[in-house]
Amino acid sequence: MAKYKRILVDYIGREYERKNLYLKEYAELEEKISEMDASEKKNLAARLKELKIKKDQHPYNVELKAFKDAEKTFLSKQKEEVEKFRKTVPEDLSDVVRDLTVKIRESELEAGFYEDYTELSYDAEFLYKRAKAHLRVLPKNIEEIAALETELSEAKHLDASGDHSAIKAEITSFREKQKKLLDERTKELRDKKKQGLISDKALKNGISQIKKDFKHLTTIKSFEDPVKNKKELIKSKTFELKNYIKVTRRILDADIADIRRSVPVEVEKTSPVIAHTTFLLPGLGQLLNRQYMKALLFGLGALFIYFIAIPYALGYGNYQGEGVAGLISLAEGGKRVDKSLIFLIEGIIAIMFLLIAFAIYFTSFNDVKSTEKGIIKGTRSFNWFETKSHIEEEGFPILVSMPALLIIMFIVLVPIFTAILLSFTGMDPRHQSKFSWVGLENYMLIATGTGLAGSVFWKILGWTIIWTLTATTLAIFIGFGLALLVNNPRVKGKGIFRMIYLLPWAVPAFITIMFFSIMFSKTGALTTIANDLTGLTLDFKNNTNLTRMILVMLQGWLGSSYVFLLSTGVLQAIPEDLYEAADIDGANSWQKIRKITLPLVLFQTAPLLVNQYTFNFNNFSIIYLFNGGGPFNPEKYGNLAGSTDILISYIFKLTTENQYQAIGAAITIVISLGLMMFAFFGYRNSKAFKEERL
């Protein structure tokens, strides 16, 4: 494979012949060697070796060295001459005009020097074209800026002194007349509205337009006041001047960026050496590539790595922990006040810091490497203007996502990883301050159904599944049935029915749950009514089956409003033509529901109904608020759970009330994985997902 390329390529693939005749000859020899057979390669290899040895004697390199020496002399003289010229620029000019005038002189000298070397080097060609761009743009800019500065100066020196009481009185009188006219026209519009000649929207738009006209006319009239006119004129000219300077600089930067893109660069480098040698120091590679602003930004990243991330990971700056090492020790052998949980959390935070550090390393390395590879091919590195433009056009989505990613890492991922790792520890009531790793022991207790906490896991899981399926399915049937009922064209007063059916959703759920909890207590009103009707002595909250039945029906009622709302929206969007066509074909009501209504409703709502199942699987509030998970049966469920507890309320009791955090975390991980799988298969099997409507 050739070491050097005979052709240079820019960032969009345009090709350029090399001007460096030494590198061109070197590349041509390498290409010939790669194409020749073994017998001919020897002679060409000898020529290539001789070319390399006599590199400094090559005619092009001799000429290039002479150019470099002349350039050094020129730059030294240019600096002196520019400083002398700066002293001759009139001092009454503004700083901007003085700087631009000096820049023109500097560009004149550059253009005069580099013009003779444009065929020798692409660098000389670029500097010559850049100088010509300055000479083409800056004189016009100076004229425009000088004119704007003159206008601003004239505005500042306007004579606004004297007695302006007559003018102010005239402005006040004009404003009063216009206000009176405004009130009259507004009254006319309101009268037309009362007479039914115009609509509410026309009245609103008319009044808005009248107010705009009033404001416009009075503002124009107010400028007749010389004092206000002078202030507004100064403000306008100041803005115009600043904006013009900003825009012209951006235009010039864009012109120079175009020149950078159209004039390649030649280097003797053949591999991205800087990227590999500066990998451990983000910002240094950008500095060597002369990308100074990027070097500053990545330098800040390097400071974060070496002064925050790595020290924190090693334990420096931790509250109690030992950084990453704390994840292993979990405060074992530590001080009495040290807590294993803090060591665990700080270890996870340390890993997050290291991940950010790795991302900075990786991004910096890739940036330097891609820049170097571009330079090797012939593409000049981006200057700051080009970098900003690139970020605005392509990198902006990533840039605005970074704060959210950082928040997710520390607000979402840290608690998740804490729960995952905690499930492999022995944190229980006897080991709150200090605990150790126990591996898969907690998961084995769950799988085998043994131990104080694991023995009732499968019983609670069974009831949780039954609860989820029955309560959610009942809510769906009720909500969909009510939506069908209200959507029937023969039903009158649909608005009233919709309001009533949405009440369970509108009223806070905990209020409804607590209300029914009281009503179904041993002396509650509903219990009393049921006892009177049946002649029995019912105790709903102390009977497992009755409590479960009430919970299912209560959640069916509470959840029906959401399904009702979803179904109503879809039903109203179904074209009547479908039902008319079904009537012509002789379909009955049930067939229309089964063949038209259900498929269309499920197509739109199936993913959301999957969410309802996953929500009810973890519906803590209704279980805990209604009866605290009771009634309690210690012989069957032990002392940690009640007969209506679902897994989420069981986890709450394990962790918050009884301090079995480790086994609680393990159960949390198990049910989270189960719910993720259920949601995945539920979404994947929905028609909306298959047709990529999600």
C-alpha 550: how far from its chain's center?
Answer: 44
Find where tokens 């670029």 sit: 126
Residues 313 and 334 in one domain: yes
Res 687 pLDDT > 80: no
Q: Are residues 189 and 335 in the same domain?
A: no
Domain assignment present for residue 434? The answer is no
Tokens 């959401």 -> residue: 562
- Most confident option among 185-199, 294-308, 373-387: 294-308
pTM score, whole prediction? 0.81
Question: Do 487 and 577 lie in a common domain?
Answer: yes
Q: Are residues 201 and 295 in the same domain?
A: no
Please indicate, yes or no, if residue 432 is contained in any of the structural domains: no
* Inside any domain, residue 93: yes
Whether residue 1 has pLDDT greater than 70: no
**Pairwise pLDDT comparison (295 vs 484), residue with the higher score:** 295
What letter represents residue 664's amino acid? G
* pLDDT interval class at 185 (50, 70, 90): very high
633 neighbors 544 (Cβ within 8 angstroms)? yes
Give residue 251's identity as a one-letter amino acid code.
Answer: I
The mean pLDDT of 309-320, rounded to a whole number, is: 93
**381, 407, 422 - which closes a domain:** 422
Q: What is the mean pLDDT of residues 241-253?
A: 93
Residue 469 has pLDDT above 60, yes or no: yes
Of the candidate ranges 49-58, 198-207, 377-386, 685-694, the one whose mean pLDDT is the lowest: 685-694
- 292 and 235 within one domain: no
Question: Which are the contacts of 145, defined by CB distance < 8 A and separation ≥ 6?
Answer: 94, 96, 97, 100, 241, 244, 245
**Does residue 142 share a domain with residue 178?**
no
What pLDDT, on a 0 to 100 scale, did the predictor assign at position 694? Answer: 46
**459 lies in a domain?**
yes
The closest alpha carbon to 237, from 147, 328, 170, 350, belongs to 147
**Burial of 322 per CB tally in 10 Å (0-12, 13-18, 19+):** buried
- Per residue in 429-446, pLDDT (tens digit) is 999 999 999 999 999 999
197 and 139, same structural domain?
Answer: no
Q: What share of the chain is helix, strand, coil (3-state, %, to 5)?
A: 75, 0, 25
Using the CB atoms, write b or e for 86-102: b if 16+ within 10 Å.
eeeeeeebeeebbebbb
What is the chain's alpha carbon radius of gyration, rounded to the nearest angstrom? 40
Give which of 591, 555, 575 is closest to 471, Cα–Cα.
555
| Averaged pLDDT for residues 59-72 | 95
Residues 206 and 149 in one domain: no
Q: Is the pLDDT of residue 366 over 90?
A: yes
If you average pLDDT over every residue of the chain, what do you get? Answer: 89
Question: Domain of 200?
Answer: 165-255
Residue 439 lies in a domain: no
Are 373 and 455 within one domain?
no
Q: What's the mean pLDDT in 594-619? A: 85
Q: What is the mean pLDDT of residues 208-233?
A: 89
Domain at 453, CATH number: 1.10.3720.10
Average pLDDT on 213-230 reads: 88
Same domain, 555 and 680: yes
Residue 452 CB: number of other CB atoms within 10 A?
A: 15
Q: Which amino acid is at 474?
A: L
| Boundary (domain end) residue, out of 210, 228, 255 | 255
Question: By the 8 A CB rule, do 331 and 339 touch?
Answer: yes
d(CA 203, CA 205): 6
**Domains identified in the chain, total number:** 4
Asked, for residue 159, whether it belongs to a domain, the answer is no
- 477: in domain: yes
Domain final residue, candidates 154, 186, 212: 154
pLDDT exceeding 70 applies to what percent of the chain?
98
Which three-class secondary structure string do you get for 462-473? HHHHHHHHHHHH
3-state secondary structure of 400: helix
Q: Tokens in use for 75?
A: 């730059």
- Give per-residue pLDDT as tens, 610-631: 889 999 999 999 999 999 998 9
SS (H, E, C) 3-25: CCCCEEECCCCCEEECCCHHHHH
Residue 606 has pLDDT above 70, yes or no: yes
pLDDT of amino acid 397: 81
Is residue 4 a contact partner of residue 23, using CB atoms and an 8 Å limit? yes
Instruction: Give the pLDDT confidence score for residue 686 in this predicted structure.
Output: 67
Do 356 and 450 have their domain in common?
no
What pLDDT was estimated at residue 464?
A: 95
Question: Is pLDDT above 80 for 579?
Answer: no
Is 304 inside any structural domain?
yes
Same domain, 387 and 516: no
Per-position b or e across 651-684, b if 16+ CB within 10 A of its CB: bbbbbeebebbbbbbbbbbbbeeebeeeeeebbe
Residue 690 pLDDT: 57
pLDDT band for position 691 (cuts 50, 70, 90): low
| Tokens linked to 278 | 């500066």
Q: Which residues are 17's β-sheet partners?
A: 7
Q: What are phi and psi of 267, to 5 degrees?
A: -135, 155
Nearest one of 520, 511, 344 to 434, comparing CA atoms: 344
Compute the distance between CA of residue 649 and CA of residue 464 in angstroms, rounded to an integer.
Answer: 10
